[in-house]
Structure 1
Amino acid sequence: MSFRGSTAVVGTGSTGYYKRGTSPLTSAQLILTAILRACEDAGADPRSIDGFVSYGGDSSEGLAIGAALGVREVRWSTEVWGGGGGGIAAAVNCAAAAVYSGQADCVAVYRGLSEGTDGRRAFAKGHIGSLYTAHGVLAPAQICALRTQRLLEVDRVPRSAMEAISLTGYHHAQNNPDAVAYGHPVDHTRYENSRWISEPLHLFDCSRENDGAAAVLVVSAERSGDYRGVPALILSGVQGAAAGWSESVENETDYSTAGFHPAMVARLWAGAGIGPGDVDVAQVYENFTGPAVASIIDHGLSPGGPAAGEFLTVENLTVETGTLPINTAGGNIAEGFVHGIGLVVEAVRQIRGGSPNPVAGADISLLIGGPMAPLVSSTVFGSPATA
């Protein structure tokens, strides 16, 4: 049996987004709500879940979540190490591997954040080492700003590509009533006049911080007919880091890339049996716009260098006119940020239905995990037509 298309996502659920620190629920309560909604979406009995996967230092262990749900048995419980948001696609891949290998039948992939439970910037704990702090680098924006500046200066990628990522997210958010930026569009003037966070990153180059949770259910494709709705097949997935990347702390060989090395990307496409030109829609983790640009280039979706500015435009990245629509619910920047788990939900909705900005006839939906992180990951989802 091939890994390609052997597993599928059959349900998605989310709580929506709260302004950071305002959720009336704990992280665990938010996660339980999201999983129950995913079960409702799939027509699944919550007690039948037998696996749990999260990432990024989630404070809610799978065993505790399983006990609260009253599951019959926990057969698989794990968390992806390292990489922060780089682990979002890796978590899906891990769930798929568990189901594919027979270690579990129905795995919930989730992430939840509540500052009342986890504290401020819980998603970044442990990422700012002594090398950074000794030199006054105290926030993820500063680290990614250094790498983005190299991307602009040495690789000669124009800053307009970064603006396009931001404006695309805000454009799509205007059709998503659940987005934090719904009713608050951003145009060129507002983007350009926004304050610097860490040059070359403006305010609107940065993701948000929100309370909330989301979850998806992964099962065997053979059993997907037991659940409600269209399955989103998992065609391929990769995770990891090449030598000279990982935790080398500012000495990375490919410093201005997103960390998706050529061999990793080649495995992704080979596993799915497609190429970058076959992607119909993509959800690209934008902790900041510079890393998102780098990850799009790493995957071969856009040329690098000055030519990136010709491909990465608002016109080409939006659903109405683009050849590569991205972040169709608004992304981390405009929909809301719970460590990127919303991107998983939207990647699946483009296949299953329910997206606020659906891409007509989409068969291939790409999820790209957090770029410029120690660990990075990607997943390709496909419609039943790709089986």
Structure 2
Amino acid sequence: MTNRKHSACIVGIGQTPYKRWGAVTEESEFSLACKAIMAAAEDAGLPLSEIDGFSAHSDDRNDPARLEVTLGIKQLRLATMVWGGGGGGASASLSHAVAAVENGTANYVVVLRALCQGQQFRYGQFHEWSAHQKFASPYGLFSPPGQAALTFRRYMHRYGLTEEKLARVALACRANANRNPNAVMYEKPLDLETYLSGRMIADPYRVYDCCLETDGACALIVTTRERAADLRGKPAHILAVGQGGDGRWGTGNFGNYNMPEEIFSIGPQKRLADELFARAGIERSDVDVAQIYDAFSGGVITTLEAFGFCGLGEAGDFAADGNLDWPNGGLPINTAGGLLSEAYVHGLNLLVEGVRQIRGESTSQVEDTKICLVTAAAVTPTSATLLGKEPS
């Protein structure tokens, strides 16, 4: 058991403006990464030189050696990166940082993700270096939407989910983005009629069911509760964080196909969810708001079920009853707009928004928020965290 004063918290958050892929991004991906880190340090009231660790998503190109020199860091004590798909690592990079500060390996660890899809490759395209893509390409599945759509189409068939109920995910995210000036879809409303007339990308996913492709960066700074007392940033306490997944799932969008029918669509999240709630010592009903990984809208539906907020096949009705909507829903989601309508930064922006909810600073603030759930993509390994206003 970690000593309470040594338990980890997030004390700084930073992000750059987000731009859609294809827009002219004059700054390099590395420059955006540095700006997000500098903003997080300013938010925390921490000198850049005191940062001594970096924890990044998989395949991040902003290596610690360059960051160390550029930011004027006195000593680098941790440099770690998450394995596996970027989407599954949204909370895994946080998990690495938490372990480091709680065991004394480092004092102030930056959790980072920066992407310039306008300058690098697009995540929505086929990439021949990917083993998953090579396996799928003979069947015409050249990009993630087509791969993810197959599994979720099976879910819709099994449970009778209608497109109107699925639309509630995209509509909730867009409404929240309309209140967030840093969201790509700020002041760009979406209604059901427009959603249903959207072009089909991969049945059942329309264009509004698929996440944005964006350029931008965000960062968090993690330290101990004891050190946080000397900083300006209002802490968000990490009640529980974890990485992993149930056995035999495999990886990517193809791990599901060996699994039994009753869990085929859910993904490798259920055991991790149970462990997180047990470790935090809270119930599902204690969660005030959730930031759920929404690369595709169907992922929100299945994650609600995997994390136990409703039973199998019940998430569509849960959404249709208004539970996902701000401000009066029972579990408002993705209050900055999520990956569907704020930006695609491999889910780290969901963690940034989770901290804002705990602080009471969101543009779609849920009243009296004490606990926020943040999830990652339902791939292997996946990850998730529970953030709290008070330490566990």
Q: Relative to structure 1, is the Cα distance of residues 374 and 96 closer, same or farther in structure 2, using a 3 angstrom cutoff?
A: same
After TM superposition, list the pairs within 5 Å mapping 1:60-71 onto structure 2: 60-71=62-73
Partner residue of 1:255?
264
Secondary structure at the counterpart of residue 316 of structure 1 = coil
Partner residue of 2:190?
186
In 2, Cα distance between equivalents of 1:82 and 1:3? 31
After TM superposition, list the pairs within 5 Å mapping 1:183-332 onto structure 2: 183-247=187-251, 249=255, 251-253=257-259, 254-261=263-270, 263-305=271-313, 307-313=314-320, 315-332=322-339
Compute the displacement of 1:316 (Å): 1.7
Deviation larger for 175-184 or 193-202: 175-184
In 2, Cα distance between equivalents of 1:92 and 1:161? 33
Partner of residue 386 from structure 2, selected from 377, 380, 384: 380
> Given residue 290 of structure 1, which amino acid in structure 2 is its aligned partner?
G
In 2, Cα distance between equivalents of 1:260 and 1:159? 24
* 1:152 pairs with 2:156: yes
> Given residue 32 of structure 1, which amino acid in structure 2 is its aligned partner?
C
* 1:167 pairs with 2:171: yes
Deviations 1:284-342 (A, max 9, x none): 1101011121111100122321x322211372212221110110011111111122221
After TM superposition, list the pairs within 5 Å mapping 1:122-141 onto structure 2: 126=130, 128-141=132-145
In 2, Cα distance between equivalents of 1:348 and 1:202? 31
In 1, Cα distance between equivalents of 2:301 and 2:86? 18
Partner residue of 1:45?
47
Partner residue of 1:73?
75
In 2, Cα distance between equivalents of 1:252 and 1:62? 38
> Given residue 382 of structure 1, which amino acid in structure 2 is its aligned partner?
G
Aligned length: 383
> Given residue 44 of structure 1, which amino acid in structure 2 is its aligned partner?
L
8 Å CA contact retained: 2:117, 2:213? no
Secondary structure at the counterpart of residue 243 of structure 1 = coil
Structure-1-length-normalised TM-score = 0.94
Where do 5+ consecutive residues of structure 1 fail to align? none
Deviations 1:267-295 (A, max 9, x none): 11011111111100110110101112111
8 Å CA contact retained: 1:26, 1:116? no
Compute the displacement of 1:23 (Å): 1.4
Amino-acid identity (%): 36
Q: Relative to structure 1, is the Cα distance of residues 329 and 362 closer, same or farther in structure 2, using a 3 angstrom cutoff?
A: same
Structure-2-length-normalised TM-score = 0.93
Secondary structure at the counterpart of residue 75 of structure 2 = coil
4+ residue stretches of structure 1 with deviation over 4 A? 122-125
After TM superposition, list the pairs within 5 Å mapping 1:29-108 onto structure 2: 29-108=31-110
Compute the displacement of 1:127 (Å): 6.1
Secondary structure at the counterpart of residue 226 of structure 1 = coil
Q: Relative to structure 1, is the Cα distance of residues 329 and 127 closer, same or farther in structure 2, using a 3 angstrom cutoff?
A: farther
> Given residue 227 of structure 1, which amino acid in structure 2 is its aligned partner?
L
Compute the displacement of 1:241 (Å): 2.2
Partner residue of 1:8?
9
Partner of residue 368 from structure 2, selected from 361, 372, 383: 361
Secondary structure at the counterpart of residue 118 of structure 1 = coil
Compute the displacement of 1:249 (Å): 4.4
In 1, Cα distance between equivalents of 2:95 and 2:345? 19
Compute the displacement of 1:56 (Å): 2.9
